[in-house]
Amino acid sequence: MALEKHDNKNLGGGRPVAEKGEHIVARHLIEDDNIKEEKNLVIDGVDVSGRWNTFIISRVNSDFDRSFFEEIKKTVVGSRINRCWQCGMCTASCTVTPLYRRFNPRAFIYMMQLGNLKELKKYIDVAWRCVGCYKCSQRCPKQVNPAEMMEALALVIKKYFQEEVKTKLKLDEEVKKIYEDMIIGHGRLDLAKLHTSAMQKSGKTKELFGKIERGAILKMLKDGRAFSVLRLGKPHNWSSSKEAIENYLHKLNTIENSEAGV
């Protein structure tokens, strides 16, 4: 049930599963040029045609950036990055991976450990799709907490790829902003407002007046739930909490600082 669209022309976006080396698991992690395949291959007199004639040329990665690793380790969500020993249990249990093959938590954590920004950049368009189901964290043998590591990944992407965030992750960022404004600003969440403004941001204004949405809104108006949303209000003295939270976020010297990213 893969949802990912395979676009053969656009190698940067939806990378195709090429004929070349297509039976390699996590094929998307390997560059096309690094796969060697022969039609007919005989080694020491043994015919190894078929699957056995696929070779991956080893690559050397010399541009490590360990400062990057320390940067992640200082955050709350990424504090356990040093524990990962790359068993792949997170990817094996992932809810999103069967839908989007290129979403691979194990590989993301590896790239973060190495500070390999060049590789990470290729996955900006899928990296935000984590649904936070915590299956990975449940099954991780080293308690790395990969589900929260994906939050650390979002912080990293926000800091180092500002241009891409503005174009490719526009919707995700805008919805996050709506959430934050409500949670920090008002202390409570107005679900009706969240829903309508998110629909508008994603360009579904037309759908908002469609039959299904109209039916739901009418139903809530009839049974009075629409008015309870209006009555939700703010907690008393929330402004002092709001100020304290904002001050804390400005004073932080990690990438969680609200100014480090934006």
Residues 34-53 binding another protein (CB under 8 A) are: none
Stretch near another protein under the rule CB under 8 A, chosen from 29-37, 42-50, 65-73, 236-244: 236-244
Q: Which is nearer to another protein, 21 or 130 (CB)?
A: 130
The minimum distance between CB 172 and another protein, in angstroms, equals: 5
Q: Which is nearer to another protein, 57 or 131 (CB)?
A: 131
Q: Which tokens go with 55?
A: 């070779």
The minimum distance between CB 33 and another protein, in angstroms, equals: 32
Q: Are 17 and 112 in contact (CB under 8 A)?
A: no
Q: Does 72 bind another protein (CB under 8 A)?
A: no
Q: How many of the chain's residues bind another protein (CB under 8 A)?
A: 71
Q: Does 151 bind another protein (CB under 8 A)?
A: yes
For the segment 192-231, give every residue that binds another protein (CB under 8 A): 192, 194-195, 198-199, 202, 212, 215-216, 219-220, 223, 225, 228-229
Which of 42, 76, 92, 221 is the binder for another protein (CB under 8 A)?
Answer: 76
The minimum distance between CB 233 and another protein, in angstroms, equals: 10
Q: Which is nearer to another protein, 61 or 167 (CB)?
A: 167
Which residues are CB-contacts of 186 (< 8 A; sequence separation ≥ 6)? Answer: 234, 238
Q: Does 160 bind another protein (CB under 8 A)?
A: no
Stretch near another protein under the rule CB under 8 A, chosen from 47-55, 83-91, 111-119, 242-250: 242-250
Distance CA 222, CA 36 (A): 66
For the segment 98-117, give every residue that binds another protein (CB under 8 A): 99-100
